[in-house]
């Protein structure tokens, strides 16, 4: 099992259930890039719940919907925004 670089996922590293989930996936021999993707997304989810002051473990369907709405409406810094120039 490769060492998980927790410094890249600081919220996951400190949130017990999230950390255990990533460790569980690691023990299932998930590929390093899969673990990285899951951990990054989970770190983002935890961050949203912290900013919204919502309890992660007791999340409701409405809380999850709010997170998905937030994802949908975020500005993607890597995208090329449409311009009005012709």
Is residue 5 scored above 60 in pLDDT? yes
Q: Which pLDDT band holds residue 2 (cuts at 50, 70, 90)?
A: low
pLDDT in tens, 32-72: 999 999 999 999 999 999 999 999 889 999 999 999 999 99
Span 7-29, average pLDDT: 96
- Per domain, the residue ranges of the chain are 6-73
Torsion angle of C-alpha atoms 62, 11, 72, 68, degrees rounded to 10? -20
**pLDDT computed for residue 65 by the predictor:** 96
Q: What is the DSSP letter of 59?
A: -
> Whole-model pTM?
0.81
Is residue 73 scored above 80 in pLDDT? yes
């Amino acid at each position: 099992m490769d060492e998980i670089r927790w410094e890249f996922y600081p919220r996951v590293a400190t949130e017990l259930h999230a950390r255990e989930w990533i460790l569980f996936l690691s023990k299932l021999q998930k590929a390093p890039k899969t673990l990285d993707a899951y951990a990054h997304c989970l770190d983002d989810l935890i961050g949203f719940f912290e900013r919204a002051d919502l309890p992660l473990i007791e999340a409701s369907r409405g809380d999850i919907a709010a997170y998905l709405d937030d994802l949908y409406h975020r500005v993607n810094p890597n995208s090329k925004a449409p311009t009005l120039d012709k």
